Amino acid sequence: MQINNKEFQRDAFIKEIYKAAKKNKKIYFLSADFGAPALDAFRQNLKSQFLHLGICEQNMIDFACGMALEGAKVYAYAMAPFLALRCIEQHKTATCLMNLDVCSIVTGIGLSYANSGPTHYSTEDLACLRSLPNAYIYTASDPATAEMIARHTLRIKKPVFVRLDRKASTNFKKLVNKVEIEKGYRYIKKNNKSNVLVISHGTILERALKSFLELNENQKKDVDIIELIRCKPFPTALKKIISNYKKILTIDEQTASGSLESIISENSYKINLHSLSLPDKFMYENLGREKLLDKNNLSIKNITNKIKKLVKNK
Amino acid sequence: MSKNIYQKKAYQIRKELLDKFYLLKEGHPGSVFSIIDVLIVLYFGKFIRVKKNNKIFTPLDDLIVSKGHATVGQYPILKDLKIINKKEWDNWGFKKSILKMFGNISIPGIKTATGSLGHGIGYGTGIAYYAKKNKIKKDVYVVISEGELYEGSTWEALLLLSSLKLDNVTIILDVNNNIILGNPKDCLSLGSLSQKFKSFGVYTEECNAHDFKKLELKFKKFKNIKKPKCLIVNSIKGKGFKIMEGKAQWHYWNPITKKQFYNIHLDLKKNYANK
């Protein structure tokens, strides 16, 4: 569904799965009472490939794994905090331990459900999911990336977790391509010899870009930005790229422990690493997502200042 | 299948398992021996069919031992049926072997990874649903323990199983009145198990877990019942060995002397081989 050129990532993703499912009867879509406009067409026209599992994420994953053991390609869909954490043990014992072709569509990451409070925030899903061996984890930053990730999931037979945002957004100016999805990362901004590299993923990347625009021309020449599309397995080529920069800044809409900062730290050697992420606390303020981000380390001003400082002290 | 053949298998399989536990000095004999007679009937009674293709034997029906600590009970049976290579069984405890204390899908004939409780019915429902949709003739048997009834995922799965009306799923609920800290009645009572399963729309009957003839009759009857089914089997933990029977501490293997080991063998022979 598109509103003023904005699209929901979930719709962009599901549309692709729906197209494929019309031709491939082995594709099944399971929902734990979670909808989307694009899912309505799937439910209506591919009734025999859609199942409403009730609000029970744990059984949805066990059931999906049973089907996958028989040869089905299964998509399991629910709200991020519940699909990631409520059934983390199912992801471990069933999906990942048996290395099955099940794709979990983890929808509403970060502070997507800002007005619902901490039970609905998904600010630790990355730390939990990425601790699972065999997992493939993708994060979409815009609807076009969600669509391309969907196509990619149809080509791989792995335990996949696709992290989608809740909000509708426009695409970044430069659209992601198939090679970049396969590599697992892409440059959003690239100069010749920048000293500072910003790494981010998800819609918080929008703030990284806005902060970049706040820099003067000289500063801009010293900053590159990479979108990490697949954080697990970590893209091998990226390890070498990271080591070429004097300073790295990670920006992530997750709490710090186990998230993007940890990923980069674990996949690099002797780098000067800085990080901006959410504080280690439950947030109850009913401010809406933008203000919550502003108040909790991730304001454009804060990001801009951090980048400027890194550029200045290079 | 005659009662004598089941009896012979019950002796042989128990003997092999006992020797293996003694060698490995670990395992869950109490849980394995409470359910072993049911496994013997399912496999040797041909409720689980086996296909031979180019000297490779594969089960056509599935058995999921959801109480994963009892998966070991499947190994000597699968070896007898040539699904597991005899070498793997012989090597276990001496050399490299694919066999592990908890089953996983790298072992031929072991359908799922189990060990963590409360997954089996969910897996089984997914397998059975896909088989039905694709018109594959397949029965799925899921062995669960009473301990798994404390896991919420068990009830989530039952709700779905019943809603999908999958008549190709049979749950075998092993009631040995023992969880690690004692009798469930004294820990957190599970109430009427039969009533609970029936209320979920599951056809439910009860049976002695060690009576081969009755087990065989029940499974035969179940094949004609067009609903998801549950057979509650009343078992004795550690059945067949006086030292273990009904004893909570024999959930795990306990160190024993050579003399005790010899006496356990005599006990086994007396109970099974000479009958």
B161: closest CA among B196, B111, B114, B202? B202
Nearest C-alpha neighbor of B271 from the set B246, B232, B235, B240 = B240
- Total CB pairs under 8 A between chain A and B: 88
What is the structure's pLDDT at B3? 72
Nearest to B126 among A67, A89, A93 (CB): A67
Q: Tell me, yes or no, if A94 comes closer than 8 A to chain B by beta carbon.
A: yes
> What CATH number has the domain bearing residue A164?
3.40.50.970
What pLDDT does A1 receive?
62
pLDDT, greater one: B238 or B187: B238
User: Please, what sign has the CA dihedral across residues B55, B56, B62, B64?
Assistant: positive
State whether A53 and B160 contact (CB < 8 Å). yes
CB contact under 8 A, B131 and A70: yes
Give domain status of residue A222, yes or no: yes
User: Are residues A194 and A75 part of one domain?
Assistant: no
Chain A residues in contact with B116 by the CB 8 A cut-off are: 89, 93
Question: Residue type at B232?
Answer: I
For the residues A87-91, what does the mean pLDDT come to?
Answer: 98
- pLDDT digits 0-9 by tens, A246-267: 999 999 999 999 899 999 999 9
CA distance A287 to chain B (A): 35
The answer to whether position A178 is within a domain reads no
Q: Are residues A22 and A137 in the same domain?
A: yes
Q: How far is B7 from chain A (nearest CA, A)?
A: 34
Judge if A151 and A199 occupy the same domain. Answer: no
B116 in reach of chain A (CB within 8 A): yes
B195 to B35, B170, B232: CA distances (angstroms)? 22, 17, 11
Give this prediction's pTM.
0.96
Q: CATH number, domain at A195? A: 3.40.50.920
Give me the domain span that covers residue B127. Answer: 3-273
B160 touches chain A (CB under 8 A): yes
Interval A128-137: pLDDT, tens: 999 999 999 9
Say whether both A159 and A216 belong to one domain.
Answer: no
The reply to whether A292 and A145 lie within a common domain is no
Residue A270 lies in a domain: yes
Whole-number Å distance between alpha carbons of B274 and B269: 6
Cα–Cα dist B102/B114, whole Å: 7
Over 80: is that where the pLDDT of A64 sits?
A: yes
Residue A265 resides in a domain: yes
What's the pLDDT at B187? 87
At residue A44 the predicted structure's pLDDT band, cuts being 50, 70 and 90, is very high
Mean pLDDT of A31-52: 97
Give residue A314's pLDDT.
60
Q: Are residues A111 and A198 in the same domain?
A: no
Tell me, yes or no, whether A174 lies in a domain. Answer: no
CATH number at residue B204: 3.40.50.970
Q: Specify whether A289 is located in the same domain as A238.
A: yes
d(CA A144, CA A9): 8
Residue A92 and residue A23 share a domain: yes
Strand, helix or coil at B174? strand
Note whether A35 and A134 are same-domain residues: yes
Q: B74: which 2 tokens?
A: 């499947």
Number of domains in chain B: 1
Structural domain span for residue A304: 186-312
pLDDT band at A63 (very low <50, low <70, confident <90, very high): very high
Residues A159 and A12 in one domain: yes
Least Cα distance to B16 among B38, B31, B44, B36 occurs for B36
Q: Kindly state whether A32 is in contact with chain B, defined as any CB-CB distance less than 8 angstroms.
A: no
Residue A211 confidence (pLDDT) above 70? yes
- Residue B150 backbone class (left: φ over 0; alpha: ψ -120 to 50; beta: rest): alpha
A59 and A145 inside one domain: yes
**B122 and A48 in contact by Cβ < 8 A?**
no
B115 near A CB under 8 A = yes
Which of A169, A197, A224 marks a domain boundary? A169
Please, which residues 244-283 of chain A have a Cβ atom closer than 8 Å to chain B? none
Contacting residues for B99 by C-beta, under 8 A, at least 6 apart:
B75, B84, B88, B89, B92, B107
Q: Quote the CA–CA distance of B58 and B49 in Å, as a whole number.
A: 9
Task: Write out chain B residues lying below 8 Å of A78, CB-based.
Answer: none
**Does any domain span residue A27?**
yes
Mean pLDDT, rounded, of chain A: 96
Tally of structural domains, chain A: 2
Length of chain B: 275
- Determine, yes or no, domain membership for A180: no
A114 lies in the same domain as A82: yes
Residue of B nearest to A96 (CA): B113
Chain B residues close to A69, C-beta within 8 Å: 105, 111-112, 123, 126-127
Does any domain span residue A223? yes
What is the model's pLDDT at position A269?
Answer: 86
Which residues are bridge partners to B239 per DSSP?
none
Per-residue model confidence as pLDDT tens digits over A162-201: 999 999 999 998 899 999 999 999 999 999 899 999 999 9
Asked if the ipTM is above 0.90, the reply is yes
Task: Count the Cβ atoms, other than its own, within 10 Å of residue B151.
Answer: 18
